[in-house]
Structure 1
Amino acid sequence: MHLLVLLITTFKLVCFNISTLISTPPNPSIFVKRNILILPTLLPTPKQNKKETFRMASQTIANHREGAEIFHGDDICKKKTIQMLEELGLPKGLLPLENIEEFGYNRAAGFIWLVQRKKKDHTFKKIKQVVSYGPEVTAFVEKGKLKKITGVKTREMMLWLTVVEVYIEDPSLRKITFKTGTGLSDSFACSAFELGE
């Protein structure tokens, strides 16, 4: 909710200042296209950066293969993903990936990875939240927490924000918090992320 309020406030400020920006000399770091203001922090990531991020995730997986439990095939990978989430005290439907080719869990390093055939967008119906899961999803894990996550984004209004951490601070409250790369976070009821949601 706080994230939504912040985004709406930012949008209002940007709209208020659009006429000033258009009437001033052009600034190479700000673009106005079809009456839409695009700030540099909101520009899409260039393809080379996406490839670089993907390569870095693949390298991180390669570095943690030794000593990891590795499974192949959609059925067993889904089963192992659910077991891992249950073990960590996280909702079982948090990672609703499809066509999973590989699941790996290096317990010593606290590192997990999932490789699926292609990216998947999923809408969690109870909270009407769209989350995108890339072809590779990685995270460092500990009880009640996924951190340094790669491959997961959430949509807020028309922006895709990278999710970097998911955690349950107090299990008795049954609230799960999602933190984005911008430092903003939002909490939801854990029931919104159960299997089939």
Structure 2
Amino acid sequence: MADPKAGGIVKKGQEEGLELAVALLKEFELPEGLLPLADVVEVGYVKETGYVWIVQRKKVEHEFKMVSKLVSYDTEITGFILNKRIKKLKGVKAKEFLLWPPVNDISIEDPSTGKIHFKSLAGVTKTFPIQAFAAGQ
């Protein structure tokens, strides 16, 4: 199997890595606060396939206060970024009661209704206002 990272743009370190991550979110019309990253080691993106990966030193838990949602980001996050969507996402979990189901698809309707949808492998979809995931939330 071919390396999914082959031919990718790679940025090392917190500053450059975060810059690339935010630039990708902007380019694909996704909220900039969607990936609250800390201690970034590497961020990469393969334009031809949309494959994106993020490596951080430690797991990050972040609460999106506007929607009272606790989300966990693993040390490695991967997925495929498209316009207004991230699919086949790995490394992100959202707390639901006592469980942490993995989130594997994030999408925004086009034309936008101001809502963002998070789908888990179990087929459960949660919908929230996009502004809850704006930068600084």
TM-score class normalised by the smaller sequence: over 0.9
TM-score normalised per structure 1: 0.67
Corresponding letter in the other structure for 2:38: E
Hey, what does 1:31 align to over in structure 2? none
Q: Could you tell me which of 100, 109, 114 is aligned with 2:49?
A: 109
2:83 pairs with 1:143 = yes
2:137 pairs with 1:165 = no
Once the two structures are TM-superposed, the CA of residue 130 in structure 1 deviates from its matched residue by 0.4
Corresponding letter in the other structure for 2:121: G
Hey, what does 1:87 align to over in structure 2? 27
Kindly indicate whether the alpha-carbon contact (under 8 Å) linking 2:32 and 2:133 is maintained by their aligned counterparts in 1: yes
- Please list every run of at least 4 consecutive aligned residues from structure 1 whose deviation after the TM superposition is greater than 4 angstroms: none
Corresponding letter in the other structure for 1:67: G
* Structure 2 SS opposite 1:157: coil
Q: Distance in 2 between matches of 1:76 and 1:141?
A: 19
* Structure 1 SS opposite 2:25: helix
* Structure 1 SS opposite 2:67: coil
Identity score, percent: 39
Structure with max Cα Rg: 1
Q: Distance in 2 between matches of 1:153 and 1:172?
A: 24
Structure number with greater CO (CA < 8 Å, separation at least 6) is 2
Aligned residues: 137
Once the two structures are TM-superposed, the CA of residue 169 in structure 1 deviates from its matched residue by 1.6
Unaligned runs of at least 5 residues, structure 1: 1-59
Q: Distance in 2 between matches of 1:168 and 1:128?
A: 20
**Bigger helix share:** 1
Aligned counterparts, 1:4-19, within 5 A? none
Corresponding letter in the other structure for 1:190: I
Superposition CA RMSD, Å? 1.3
2:58 pairs with 1:123 = no
Unaligned runs of at least 5 residues, structure 2: none
Hey, what does 2:96 align to over in structure 1? 156
Q: Distance in 2 between matches of 1:174 and 1:153?
A: 22
